[in-house]
Structure 1
Amino acid sequence: MYYEFKGPALKPDFSFMDNRINVGKKEYFYDDITNITISYKPTKTTNGVITFVHKRKNIVIAFRKDDEQEIYKAIKEVSTLLSKNDISYDENHDDENAMATKLYDYCIDHGTGKGLNRKWGIKHFTLIINNLMPNEKVAFVFIGLNNYKSATKHEGNFACAITDKRILLAQQKVIGETVKSINWNNVNDITLQKGALLGIVEIDTFKERFNIGVDRTQAQNIYNETYRIYDLLKRKEEKKQYAHPKTEQVKEDPYEQLKKLKELLDMGILTQDEFDAKKKQILNI
């Protein structure tokens, strides 16, 4: 892979290689990049910006209007490469504790939350593992304060898993446990609010709104990845519906049906008894 682009006025040139992104004289290797997104913010010279997370820092690249199509192709290839760095665990060989540990370690390595401590973080993710459906895949995880209203009003730390089927929130308690499931079909939107101390990832559903408080420095990254998966799944569903539109059955007018039946009666194809029975059926007598 090789894509090279000139930067807009006063902005650095950049390129996408097989193993890295070059911005000016700096190199950013894919092994250290967690996600990449495009934001379209047209100005006189640019059409938008590319944002990627490198070692927990946001790197922003502005691109020119003329390069939009090539930029899209490049980002698509880079996203495919980055998907190889996604969360991985072996559900056939790892026990639930090993899988939960890998999910927690992902949070630590990618700066998406640590909770109270490692012990409780793994307990929360063990609940996630135990509540996964067959063939359900975890794409992204983070830890946040559920139902966050203020620094003193929230439900405590929850493990949050973004899967290909839903959003799972889980909290292990000293006595009891809490697991909440949000099906993607019920999600209206996902937004981000930034406060003085924390960022709030807001998940709006048909029934309620979930507010999850996360570290302010990583709030944008957590939101970007959560929204990216949501948008991707939504587009897939729209594409599926477009390819296989639902056909509405047109109900025939009952009088037209009776007219056709009368013709069959007159032709001797139906007997009077058969005609009367069909007539009652059509008219719901």
Structure 2
Amino acid sequence: MFYEIEGIGTIPPMSFEDDQLVTERKTYPYDQIKDLYITNSAAFSPYAILKVKYDGGVDSVPFNRHRLKVVKHAIKEWRLLQTNKEKKQPTDLDPYQQIKELKELLDMDAITQEEYDKKKKELLDL
């Protein structure tokens, strides 16, 4: 899993990587995150807020509101990873199913063609 959410203005970028969420201020290993959810900021604001709940508390991470669909998809994939770990099942989804989901994100303009191509190559081991 890899999703990079670019920053906007003073809002820094963040990324969902294979085993951690990386923000400008902190890195959150997935095994320490208890929950991820989105809250809205002020109306017409260029950012939304990702709440990261972990053993030490809850952090608010602002992100580019225009990448809301990508963040929602990343959270969905993170939850699936957590569920699979709890069930002790393999965490790898069918790569063709993942490519189909990526194509849907591309068609919705939630990810760029470059992001799609990069992830597709990664999934197909090219």
TM above 0.5, one fold? yes
Identity of aligned residues (%): 23
Q: Which runs of 5+ in 2 are unaligned?
A: 88-126
Structure with more relative contact order (C-alpha pairs < 8 Å, separation 6 or more): 2
1:45 aligned partner:
46
The structure with more radius of gyration: 1
CA distance in 1, matches of 2:85, 2:59: 18
| Cα deviation code 1:91-138 (max 9, x no counterpart) | xxxxxxxxxxxxxxxxxxxxxxxxxxxxxxxxxxxxxxxxxxxxxxxx
1:44 aligned counterpart, secondary structure:
coil
2:79 aligned partner:
79
2:45 aligned counterpart, secondary structure:
coil
1:63 aligned counterpart, secondary structure:
strand
Q: CA RMSD in A?
A: 2.1
1:36 aligned counterpart, secondary structure:
strand
CA distance in 2, matches of 1:64, 1:78: 19
Q: Check whether the contact 1:50–1:61 (CA below 8 A) recurs between aligned residues.
A: yes
Q: Check whether the contact 1:33–1:82 (CA below 8 A) recurs between aligned residues.
A: no
Q: Check whether the contact 1:36–1:51 (CA below 8 A) recurs between aligned residues.
A: yes
1:82 aligned counterpart, secondary structure:
helix
Q: Map of 1:233-272 to 2, 5 A cutoff?
A: none
1:35 aligned counterpart, secondary structure:
strand
- The alignment of Structure 1 onto Structure 2 pairs a total of residues equal to 86
1:28 aligned counterpart, secondary structure:
strand
CA distance in 1, matches of 2:60, 2:84: 22
CA distance in 2, matches of 1:31, 1:12: 24
Q: Map of 1:57-76 to 2, 5 A cutoff?
A: 57-76=57-76
1:223 aligned partner:
none
Q: Check whether the contact 2:21–2:27 (CA below 8 A) recurs between aligned residues.
A: yes
Please report how far the alpha carbon of residue 23 of structure 1 lies from its aligned counterpart in structure 2 after TM superposition: 0.4
**TM-score (normalised: structure 2):** 0.58
Which amino acid in the other structure matches residue 52 of structure 1?
V
| Cα deviation code 1:133-169 (max 9, x no counterpart) | xxxxxxxxxxxxxxxxxxxxxxxxxxxxxxxxxxxxx
Q: Stretches of 4+ moved more than 4 A in 1?
A: none
Q: Check whether the contact 1:14–1:22 (CA below 8 A) recurs between aligned residues.
A: yes
Please report how far the alpha carbon of residue 39 of structure 1 lies from its aligned counterpart in structure 2 after TM superposition: 1.4
Q: Which runs of 5+ in 1 are unaligned?
A: 89-285
Which amino acid in the other structure matches residue 32 of structure 2?
D
Please report how far the alpha carbon of residue 62 of structure 1 lies from its aligned counterpart in structure 2 after TM superposition: 1.3
CA distance in 1, matches of 2:83, 2:34: 9
2:12 aligned partner:
12
Please report how far the alpha carbon of residue 50 of structure 1 lies from its aligned counterpart in structure 2 after TM superposition: 0.9
1:26 aligned partner:
26
